[in-house]
């Protein structure tokens, strides 16, 4: 397996862009080609953020085509659903944090927020596999809530869906997180991986 297409979806401040860059850098370290493209809703903390990562031999566009992503990594469930409806392939994987963070349009009353169970049912109707767990609590257990994105990367790595070596991904995380947080991020990664075992 030398290819993977994913969307890392969340809200501003959750670290989806950092997570996507870590995946792309790790892919390149392992000799693969990678492209990253970002889409932003309201450009603010709490606004929608989706990072597309495409890994493969010949990748021309940084954005996934409709129904072209094999993986939605949802740091926030509703943002994950929004991206799954458009981008997730029929037999894809929806890996989501269960902790909700009200997106901006919900907090100002422009959108309703479905329950996490409703979100999971909707994704299953698309034909996708759903894996969900509370990554935010695991980040707190690791020692820093801001490591939730790395908890999710640990879980994603353990699914075997990325064509990247675990040691390369861990090395890339260590090199791309703020100085002094390497240890807590490694703990977060391992806690995420354990949820898949």
* Token code pair at residue 148: 């939730």
Q: Containing domain of residue 69, as a range?
A: 4-132+165-175
- Kind and range of the H or E run holding 116: helix 116-125
Residue 86 lies in a domain: yes
What is the count of structural domains for the chain? Answer: 1
65: phi then psi, degrees, rounded to nearest 5: -75, 165
Q: Which pLDDT belongs to residue 44?
A: 55
Residue 8 lies in a domain: yes
Residue 187 lies in a domain: no
How far from chain centre, in Å, is Cα 17? 9
Percent with pLDDT over 90 in the chain: 78
Residue 41 lies in a domain: yes
Per-residue pLDDT reduced to its tens digit, 5-36? 999 999 888 999 999 999 999 999 999 999 99
Residue 145 lies in a domain: no
**Angle, alpha carbons 121-127-129 (nearest 5°):** 75
Residue 151 lies in a domain: no
pLDDT band at residue 176 using 50, 70 and 90 as cut-offs:
very high
Residue 31: Cβ within 10 Å count: 8
Residues 136-156, mean pLDDT to the nearest whole number:
98
Contact 15, 148 (CB under 8 A): yes
> Angle 135-142/148-159 helices, nearest 10 degrees?
110
Query: For the chain, what is the mean pLDDT?
Result: 92
Per-residue pLDDT reduced to its tens digit, 120-144? 999 999 999 999 999 999 999 999 9
The reported pTM is 0.93
Residue 47 lies in a domain: yes
Tokens 């309703």 belong to 112
- How far, in Å, CA of 149 to CA of 24, rounded? 15
Residue 72 lies in a domain: yes
CATH code of the domain covering residue 111: 3.40.920.10
32: phi then psi, degrees, rounded to nearest 5: -100, 170
């Amino acid at each position: 397996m030398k290819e993977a297409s994913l969307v890392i979806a969340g809200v501003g401040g959750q670290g989806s862009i950092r997570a996507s860059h870590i995946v792309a850098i790790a892919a390149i370290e392992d000799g693969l080609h990678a492209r990253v493209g970002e889409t932003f809703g309201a450009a603010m903390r709490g606004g929608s953020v989706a990072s597309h990562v495409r890994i493969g031999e010949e990748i021309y566009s940084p954005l996934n085509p409709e129904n072209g992503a094999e993986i939605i990594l949802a740091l926030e469930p509703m943002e994950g659903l929004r991206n799954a409806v458009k981008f997730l392939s029929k037999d894809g994987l929806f890996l989501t944090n269960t902790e909700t963070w009200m997106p901006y349009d919900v907090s100002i009353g422009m959108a309703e927020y479905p329950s996490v169970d409703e979100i999971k049912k909707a994704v299953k109707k698309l034909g996708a596999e759903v894996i969900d767990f509370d990554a935010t609590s695991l980040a707190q257990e690791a020692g820093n809530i801001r490591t939730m994105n790395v908890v999710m990367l640990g879980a994603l790595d353990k699914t075997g869906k990325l064509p990247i070596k675990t040691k390369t991904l861990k090395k890339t995380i260590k090199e791309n997180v703020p100085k002094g947080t390497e240890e807590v991020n490694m703990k977060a990664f391992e806690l995420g991986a354990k949820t898949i075992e």
